[in-house]
Copies of this chain bind each other. A is one copy, B any other.
Amino acid sequence: MGIAERKIRQKEEFKASILEAAWLQVLADGWQSLSIRKIADAIEYSVPVIYTHFENKEAILLEFTKEGFQKLADQLQGVKDQHSDPSVQLEAIANAYWDFAFEHKEYYQLMFGLGIPACEMVNQIAEMKVMTMIMISTIKEAIEGSENREADYFLKYHTYFSILHGIVSIQMIQKEGKPAEEKRMILQDAISGFIKSLIIK
């Protein structure tokens, strides 16, 4: 009575082949270029068959998002297990997180909804430099009036800016939830930590 099981197996294989074709497209031209029609073309079936295996395009992307979080969690657990001191673990996890993001760029962008039009333009926006200069000059002044005068102000600027953007964009993704009061504390915590490490040796 293996014929029902064979059918299920074939269905799974079909689903897998859809995901494989989709992933090849994502790797080739980024996930914004992914289209149902291209997938159908790649697997040499008509378009609607895809909808018998996935509710819609988003469901396909969701699959990759889950896969991404699984892979990421695996890698983080892996490096955590290599150390015993929690502080060292936190450092190792941070590095592994960074590695994952850049070794699996497509996954990461999908997981956090990154990289649309601005991606290409943000580099050539002169207007951004004003903001940059305000931040850099303030950091420079802070360093000069501190006991840590040999600090690299450009490095510190990047850190400062990255912390700000990280906090904002994470909170933007997690739509609502916590009250604003609580949210602001995260900012407060991160920035006070940054400033301390900036001005104290």
Contacts of A118 in B (CB 8 A): 61, 65, 110-113, 173
User: Which chain A residues (80-121) contact chain B, with CB distance < 8 Å?
Assistant: 80, 86-87, 89-91, 93-95, 97-98, 101-102, 105, 108-121
Total interface residues on A, CB under 8 Å, equals 88
Do A69 and B131 touch (CB < 8 A)? yes
Residues of A with Cβ closer than 8 Å to B? Answer: 58, 61-62, 65-66, 69-70, 72-73, 76-77, 80, 86-87, 89-91, 93-95, 97-98, 101-102, 105, 108-123, 125, 127-128, 130-131, 134-135, 138-139, 141-142, 145, 155-156, 158-175, 184-187, 189-199
Interface majority SS (helix, strand, loop, mixed), chain A: helix
Do B105 and A195 touch (CB < 8 A)? no
